[in-house]
Amino acid sequence: MEIAIVFLPLIGAIIAGFFGRFIGDKGSSILTSALLTISAVLSWIMFYEIIFGSGPRPVELFTWINVGDFAFNWALKMDQLTAVMLVVVTTVSAVVHWYSIGYMHHDPGIPRFFAYLSLFTFFMLMLVTSDNLVQLFFGWEGVGLASYLLIGFWYNRPSANAAAIKAFLVNRVGDFGFALGIFATFVLFETVQLDTIFAAVPGKADAQLVFLGYEFHAMTVICLLLFMGAMGKSAQLGLHTWLPDAMEGPTPVSALIHAATMVTAGVFMVCRLSPMFEFSETALMVVTVVGASTAFFAATVGLTQNDIKRVIAYSTCSQLGYMFFAAGVSAYGAAMFHLFTHAFFKALLFLGSGSVIHAMSDEQDMRKMGGIWKMVPYTYAFMWIGSLALAGIGIPGIFGFAGHYSKDIILEATWAANSGVGYYAFWLGLAGAFMTAFYSWRLLFMTFHGETRADEKVFAHVHESPWIMIGPLFVLAIGAVVAGAIGYYGFVGGGYAEFWGDSLKVLPTHTAPFEAVNVPLWVKLAPLVMAVGGIWLAYRMYIQKPGMAERWRAFHEELYQFSLNKWYFDELFDRIFVRPAFWFGRLFWKKGDGAIIDGFGPDGIAAVSRRVASRMSWLQSGYVYHYAFAMLIGVVALITWYMAVGTAG
């Protein structure tokens, strides 16, 4: 069963990719979707068996590398953490596959699209089932490759090609640090096997690494390098710029990559390596600060974006920040809980936005929408459910949407950490909760309410999506409503120890995950108050007083432009990295290649040789009398020389 879960998507990718022209568009889409559905069902069975039944079990496939001390098997690590990721990845991927049958039905590259989707899922499954760091890196790079193919799927669009290249390059920066982290881990532990590393960590807690004559705390160096990889994959501040541009891919790609799979790989990796991160306070502090800063930054940018998919993309970036700063205060269960619930409601929002785009004849600008809620009632209802879950609406102690449970416990854990970075994360996370609610309802009001701003022809053709697209949204909506209430006890509540077992490690000195239930009442109520405040402000600005937003923009034009232009990160990186790279490229091209290599090569010595050879070739006329004349001249020259030399002697 374990092997089937992982390799069924690969089989679907191979068949659709290599034989799609024979089985056709319908055959490719249905086959890959069916195989993903089987994988998802088996994943839920596996989840039940591991959590409530037989417990963790490794599955060894074969020996992969055996070179001296560098030896390990290709194996599947099936424990509680893996089980959670399996149900998230396969469920969302299966839903996206079925949804894509309707969304992509008009596209000429359907077999290729479904092959890429299934290939991406396979690599993500390889990542979450990794038994060692090299296998983890294989899946890590595989999802990077597949995301490049999916983001640039419409390769005839220059913007899609640019976005795919940007995602690939930015992730290479993070992956460079990730690879160095794996090298450093092997140097310290002499193995890449995860269980062996985890068992040896306490004995290496104070170990030092020597580099360029300086000593550094080994665990801190390793964890920071590994976290650098997580920053790239999970679009954290500084390496986040690829995520919004990735919206150039088809909407189902956004739902798959940016809701439940690739962008959560960094969070999963930090939680998987919790036995290592627990022994580096510095690394945990960095994770907390970066996560909190990202959550706040992305929320501020989401306030002013006008592309419906970009608003949700920045929301993803912000929510990933919450997951990271939860892990930074050792609340790994809370981080995984939010990862779990977020997968459902964020995929729901992305696919819901795809339904809106489908209804609006591929229009994505919210400024050209409005007044369509009666025409797309199912899509409208699903977007409300996703937004309520994202904003964390619920009554503490009674019931709430999925995000209410997972986001609140994160904020409570940061307060319970009772540290400077914990309070930093709490207050920025609280501000982020307010902004999240505001931009979510700004999206709802601009898209569905008020007078329509759409073109008459577009508005006349607004229609609800077909059932092949609406049906999958029901599955995600169920998760967005009940996943938090059902999962709370096991993920972060009284059943924490039994649920997670040994898959997560928290030192006794890190009490935040367990003290979160004892925070003051105002801390528990604050996220709900902020969310309701954000919703009220959005209602006030876009429904009660529609011109209020424009007046605020005119009054705070500089702040508006700062947010609209994403804090000018793209411009900053262009000034620091892109332009100097182009300058050096032109320098080496003109001065190096052109002036030096070509100057001394093809245009220098080689050109002289070519000209001399050309002149000499004139002597090779092919006429016998020319050769005889040349020989006669040679004989005369020799006799003359001989006579001259003889006379001189």
Return the amino acid letter for 591.
K
Q: DSSP states of 553-584 as a string?
A: HHHTHHHHHHHHTGGGHHHHHIIIIIHHHHHH
Q: Is the pLDDT of residue 337 over 90?
A: yes
Per-residue pLDDT, averaged over 162-166, amounts to: 90
Per-residue pLDDT, averaged over 368-381, amounts to: 91
Pull the structure tokens for residue 27: 């055959």
Question: What residues have CB less than 8 Å from 564, skipping those under 6 apart?
Answer: 304, 305
Query: Any idea of the CA torsion for 498, 500, 505, 510, to the nearest 10 degrees?
Result: -70
What is the rounded CA–CA span in Å between residue 207 and residue 495? Answer: 35
pTM as predicted: 0.90
Pull the structure tokens for residue 20: 């799609």
Q: According to the model, what pLDDT value does residue 382 have? A: 95
Residue 67 dihedral angles phi and psi, to the nearest 5°: -130, 100
| From 25-39, 111-125, 559-573, 616-630, the region with the lowest mean pLDDT | 616-630
Per-residue pLDDT, averaged over 332-350, amounts to: 93
What is the rounded CA–CA span in Å between residue 169 and residue 65? Answer: 29
| From 227-236, 258-267, 338-347, 610-619, the region with the lowest mean pLDDT | 610-619
Question: What residues have CB less than 8 Å from 488, skipping those under 6 apart?
Answer: 337, 405, 409
Of 251, 441, 246, 444, give the one whose Cα is nearest residue 355.
251
Coil, strand or helix at 64: strand
The per-residue pLDDT for range 472-519, each reduced to its tens digit, is: 999 999 999 999 999 999 999 888 888 998 889 999 999 999 998 889
Q: According to the model, what pLDDT value does residue 647 have? A: 62
The per-residue pLDDT for range 125-146, each reduced to its tens digit, is: 999 999 999 999 999 999 999 9
| % the chain with pLDDT above 90 | 54
- Helices 402-416 and 308-328 pack at an angle, to 10 degrees, of 40
Of 1, 114, 99, 215, give the one whose Cα is nearest residue 471.
99
Phi-psi category of residue 623: left, alpha or beta, with phi > 0 → left and psi -120 to 50 → alpha: beta
pLDDT band of residue 601 (cuts 50, 70, 90) is low
Average pLDDT, the chain: 89
Q: How many alpha carbons fall within 13 Å on the CB side of residue 98? A: 22
The sign of the torsion formed by the CA atoms of 458, 463, 464, 468 equals negative
Q: Which residue has the tokens 């995000």?
A: 403
Count the Cβ atoms, other than its own, within 10 Å of residue 289.
19
| From 58-62, 223-227, 420-424, 511-515, the region with the lowest mean pLDDT | 58-62
3-state secondary structure labels for all residues of 286-337: HHHHHHHHHHHHHHHHHCCCCEHHHHHHHHHHHHHHHHHHHHHCCCHHHHHH
Per-residue pLDDT, averaged over 47-68, amounts to: 84
pLDDT band of residue 300 (cuts 50, 70, 90) is very high
Count the Cβ atoms, other than its own, within 10 Å of residue 440.
27
Per-residue pLDDT, averaged over 460-464, amounts to: 87
Of 263, 19, 28, 43, give the one whose Cα is nearest residue 147.
263
Q: According to the model, what pLDDT value does residue 552 have? A: 87
Contact between 110 and 104 under an 8 Å Cβ cutoff? The reply is: yes
Q: DSSP states of 464-511 as a string?
A: PPPHHHHHHHHHHHHHHHHHHHHHHHHHTSTTHHHHHTTSS---TT--
pLDDT band of residue 619 (cuts 50, 70, 90) is low
Element (H, E) at 75: strand 70-78
Question: What residues have CB less than 8 Å from 509, skipping those under 6 apart?
Answer: none
What is the rounded CA–CA span in Å between residue 392 and residue 436? Answer: 9
pLDDT band of residue 62 (cuts 50, 70, 90) is confident
Of 475, 511, 490, give the one whose Cα is nearest residue 337.
490
Pull the structure tokens for residue 112: 């290729």
Name the more confident of 598 and 12: 12
Of 355, 107, 375, give the one whose Cα is nearest residue 254.
355
| From 64-73, 482-491, 564-573, the region with the lowest mean pLDDT | 64-73
Listed ranges 229-238, 376-385, 496-505; the one with the highest mean pLDDT? 376-385
Count the Cβ atoms, other than its own, within 10 Å of residue 514.
18
Measured CA angle at 86 (ends 384, 388), to 5 deg: 15
Q: Is the pLDDT of residue 646 over 80?
A: no
Contact between 393 and 402 under an 8 Å Cβ cutoff? The reply is: no
Q: According to the model, what pLDDT value does residue 620 have? A: 72
Sequence-ordered alpha helix ranges (H) in 330-419: 332-359, 377-391, 402-416
Coil, strand or helix at 211: strand
Contact between 230 and 267 under an 8 Å Cβ cutoff? The reply is: yes
Contact between 219 and 201 under an 8 Å Cβ cutoff? The reply is: yes
Return the amino acid letter for 30.
I
Q: According to the model, what pLDDT value does residue 633 have? A: 86
What is the rounded CA–CA span in Å between residue 304 and residue 240? Answer: 17
Pull the structure tokens for residue 309: 């998919």
Q: Is the pLDDT of residue 1 over 90?
A: no
Which residues does residue 71 pair with via DSSP β-bridges, in sequence order?
66
Strand 57-67 relative to strand 70-78, pairing:
antiparallel
Radius of gyration of the chain (CA): 31
Residue 212 dihedral angles phi and psi, to the nearest 5°: 55, 35
Largest CA-CA distance found in the chain, in angstroms, rounded: 126
What is the rounded CA–CA span in Å between residue 181 and residue 227? Answer: 9
Q: Is the pLDDT of residue 602 over 80?
A: no
What is the rounded CA–CA span in Å between residue 432 and residue 420? Answer: 18
